[in-house]
Amino acid sequence: MSGDGEATTDGSTAQSNEAYGRKAFKRSRSHFADRITADGAHGWPVEPGRYRLVISRACPWASRAAISRRLLGLEDALSLAVTDPLQDDRSWRFTLDPDGRDPVLGIRYLHEAYDAREKEYPGGVSVPAIVDVPSGRLVTNDYQQLTLDLATEWSALHRPGAPDLYPEALREEIDEVADGVYRDLNNGVYRAGFATGQQEYEEACGDVFRRLALLSERLSTRRYLVGESITEADIRLFTTLVRFDAVYHGHFKCNRHKLTEDPVLWAYARDLYQTPGFGDTVDFDHVKRHYYQVHTGINPTGIVPVGPDLHGWLTPHRREELGGRPFGDGTPPGPVPAAEVVPAGHRP
């Protein structure tokens, strides 16, 4: 990975204690923030088949895009590339594909699409990334905006019955909830995991569990975070919760309690996991191998834990008793395309 310090799933870096002193973890901003819009105002018009979404199933930020794409039925309009969960110093690799090349882009490493856009730019190579297939150039790595645009700008290509993941009447509340989730939880676990000082770690860990308690209280009387159906806010929370016991509890030392020890959040997470479009995008093998084998500063042995037991993800949750309609006036997505099915053994 390019950049100083130790690479995270999205290309941000944790500054090393030796080189920089006790400097807090700081997430890199998306360097390429172009938008693909219905009117093409940013130079990138929505066109079926033109772009390729590159993800790692290990990365929570990339997983947002994978879930949104599934729920909205964009599989035929926006093709998917899945990288190896293990990077090397040349960035995310396409070693899962025949001959180690992405079959559409023809590249071995994601940095090649970055270089086609801006040669040797000073930043990490991150996922999710959308690449323009005809030119091979990176379009955007703006993980915060990307899913919002899939929900709104790509609407003409949504499947019939696609849910409204960012309803206009609820956007202010969705943004407010998602901001707290991002600050204290999505990013908070990284701040705790890559902390180089005790106080820094304890403050980050405190933020994580304070936010979890607030979310547990909020979800004790409602099935979803905002409104009566799944929204962008739920997607952003789920991608951290589904990784919590597998990696954040132990690897990032967020061990005040496990997700499974909070009855409300554990039931909420299972509800979403069992909803088509969520659990069928999750690869626990990729998640665990990435965190435990790439973050050598935290886990120098590279040993990957055998647990936790995943079968609980499929147990009854009873969240339907709170009401709500998962897809609103829409319908569930169809079957996962054969080429995108998570392998047996990587899921419950």
CA 286/CA 290 separation, integer angstroms: 6
pLDDT on residue 18: 30
pLDDT value, residue 123: 82
Looking at residue 122, its pLDDT comes to 77
Can you list the residues of the chain whose pLDDT is less than 50?
1-6, 12-23
Q: Which H or E run contains 120?
A: none
SS (H, E, C) 267-329: HHHHHHHCCCCCHHHCCHHHHHHHHHHHCCCCCCCCCCCCCCCCHHHHCCCCHHHHCCCCCCC
- pLDDT, one tens digit per residue, over 264-310 is 999 999 999 999 999 999 999 999 999 999 999 999 999 999 999 99
The C-alpha atoms of residue 258 and residue 276 are separated, in whole angstroms, by 25
Q: Is 92 annotated as a binding residue?
A: yes
- What predicted TM-score, i.e. pTM, was given to this entire model? 0.93
**146 in Cβ contact with 75 (< 8 Å):** no
Tell me the per-residue pLDDT of 129-143, one tens digit each, with 9 for 90 and over: 999 999 999 999 999
Provide the 3-class DSSP secondary structure of residue 109: strand
Length of the chain, in residues: 348
In angstroms, rounded to a whole number, what is the distance separating the alpha carbons of residues 132 and 49? 10
In angstroms, the CA 209 to CA 206 distance is: 5
Residue 80, SS3?
A: strand
Residues involved in catalysis: 59, 190
Residue 235 in tokens = 């997607």
Start-to-end Cα distance in the chain: 31
- Residue 64 structure tokens: 């947002």
Domains of the chain: 6-157 (3.40.30.10), 168-340 (1.20.1050.10)
Q: Which residue type, as a one-letter code, is found at position 250?
A: G
Alpha-carbon span 348 to 339, nearest angstrom: 19
* Predicted pLDDT of residue 233: 98
Give the residue from 181, 188, 297 showing the smallest Cα distance to 236. 181
